[in-house]
Amino acid sequence: MSQYILVIDEGTTSTRAILFSPMGEMIASAQKPLTQHYPAPGLVEHDAEEIWQHSLSCATQMVNKAGGAQHIIAIAITNQRETIIFWDRRTGKPVAPAIVWQDRRTADICATLKDAGHEKMVQEKSGLLLDPYFSGSKIGWALENWPQLKQLGENLAVGTVESYLTYRLTGGLHITDASNASRTALMSIGQNGGWDDDLLNIFNVPQHILPEISDCAGQLGHSLPDIFGGAIPICGMAGDQQAATIGQGCLAKGQTKATFGTGAFILTQSGTERPYSDNKLLSTIAWQLNGERHYALEGSVFVAGSLMQWMRDDMQIIAHAGDSEALAKSVPDNGGVFLVPALSGLGAPYWNPHARGIISGLSFAATKAHIVRAGLEAMAHQAHDLKTAYAADGCDWGELRIDGGMVSNDWMAQDLADILNIGVERPYFIETTALGAAMLAAVGANLYQNLNEAAIMRGKIHQFTPNMTEQSRQNRLDGWTKAVALAMK
């Protein structure tokens, strides 16, 4: 009898369910777009009920494809991380909009806490910085500004997306895996740390509304029998970037991956010893197994694939995201045009929530091809900013493993190799976030003894090597530096 792993991959712009074989082969998938809500500048929300309904619909399709719940050996969940959801414990129903990781409504709160001298403590305990990107300030803001949350009292439950989906699937199990918990700025991430009173206090978040912190793999819970026609064990959970790190096989200290999805996120595996950064990089939990935590040093870029979506849907510069590669190739260079995609502020290493996107160097000679090329070039420029910060922290990259929807663009993958001046490795199967979640579930279901054994699921790779003169590289980087300075004025 065939047995499969079902991965629910709940992203920022879409919800997917993917059926994997125990060897990592994708059997089938289903996907639905997720509605983006922008109620005001800087505010980004999702409908949490839509998240659940889309996840349920896509997962049910995959269970049916497998031939029924009896053919699913394990469920894995991976998710957009810092997005926070509020629901009623009695019903599991959401009681407010989900506040998305891109949302900047708490910028002033974070600035006030920073001015009061709290950032050193936050970084020391949580590995994070005081920025509206993280969940803690979002929760505190919602508790203060949405009366319906206070009215629920002890019946209010709060969690990140995987916590919410697990609650709905199991009918009331309120847990969060350690990788997602480490992104809230409410957790002390040391080997024995948990929800931290000092962190909870500065954000005004009561601990009783939060879930229990769990491992990323194991027998974490079971779905209700009536959801899929039989109970299925939930055996793996991780935030999307940590899952991609696992899916890329970055299991040894120093190995680095970059995921270019809605945003771009680069993680360098650090082993069981927590890393510290003097250059505004983040320390985060990569995974927790059998109570032992592995860590990563992370750099976060807020806008990557969402730039192409913006160019397509709002600016109508391109008809399809895939058109960007042909347009970039149609001109010999960027014509002096630089695009800084600070549409949600700038992430690492700048952490400037007030920066705004700009296009500089325009002239009558500039065409839409130059603008689109500049947008793609910004991916390598932002990655180079992070590489410089990693090097300053003593963690320079020897190679980079890339994944995510954007990297199917060969031109962009080569541009990364050229600007970073290192080898870039892309797997043939680029959906490594879902694959990493499947690897965790495979370990949790005892199909493999550990992640190193499960790494056999990764498959073949394609290599890109640098092919740019030093002068050309430096000219690009100089132009980018000037453009970023304009964006932060």
pLDDT at position 92 = 96
The answer to whether residue 202 is domain-embedded is yes
The answer to whether residue 463 is domain-embedded is no
Residue 259 contacts residue 240 (beta carbons within 8 Å): yes
Report the share of the chain in percent with pLDDT over 90. Answer: 84
Distances from the Cα of 260 to the Cαs of 128, 192, 304, 443, in angstroms? Answer: 21, 32, 6, 26
How do residues 303-315 score in pLDDT, each as one tens digit? 999 999 999 999 9
**pTM for this structure?**
0.88
The answer to whether residue 398 is domain-embedded is no
Q: What are phi and psi of 276, to 5 degrees?
A: -125, 145
The answer to whether residue 45 is domain-embedded is yes
pLDDT at position 489 = 80
How do residues 282-294 score in pLDDT, each as one tens digit? 999 999 999 999 9
The answer to whether residue 411 is domain-embedded is no
How do residues 412-450 score in pLDDT, each as one tens digit? 999 999 999 999 999 988 889 999 999 999 999 999 999
**273 pLDDT more than 60:** yes
The answer to whether residue 46 is domain-embedded is yes
How do residues 148-190 score in pLDDT, each as one tens digit? 998 999 999 999 999 999 999 999 999 999 999 999 999 999 9
The count of structural domains within the chain is: 1
pLDDT at position 1 = 52
pLDDT at position 395 = 87
How do residues 202-220 score in pLDDT, each as one tens digit? 999 999 999 999 999 999 9
Distances from the Cα of 11 to the Cαs of 78, 93, 304, in angstroms? Answer: 8, 20, 14
The answer to whether residue 385 is domain-embedded is no
The CATH number assigned to the domain holding 88 equals: 3.30.420.40
**295 pLDDT more than 70:** yes
CB-count exposure of residue 12 (10 Å: 0-12, 13-18, 19+)? buried
**320 pLDDT more than 90:** no
| Beta-carbon contacts of residue 308 (< 8 Å; ≥ 6 apart) | 318, 321, 324, 375, 406
Least confident of 52-56, 159-163, 321-325, 462-466: 321-325
How do residues 5-37 score in pLDDT, each as one tens digit? 999 999 998 999 999 999 999 999 999 999 999
pLDDT at position 401 = 95
Mean pLDDT estimate for the chain: 94
The answer to whether residue 336 is domain-embedded is no
Distances from the Cα of 315 to the Cαs of 33, 104, 163, 452, in angstroms? Answer: 20, 22, 36, 45
pLDDT at position 483 = 96
Q: What are phi and psi of 414, to 5 degrees?
A: -65, -40
Q: Can you list the pairs that 390-396 forms with residues at least 24 positions away whose Cβ atoms lie under 8 Å? A: 390/256, 390/266, 390/268, 390/279, 390/281, 390/297, 390/299, 392/278, 392/279, 393/275, 393/277, 393/278, 393/279, 393/281, 393/297, 395/254, 395/268, 395/270, 395/275, 395/297
Structural domain boundaries, residue 157: 4-241
Query: What is the mean pLDDT of the segment spanning 68-90?
Result: 96
**396 pLDDT more than 80:** yes
The rounded Cα 145 to chain-centroid distance in angstroms is: 27
The gap between the terminal CA atoms of the chain, to the nearest Å, is 62
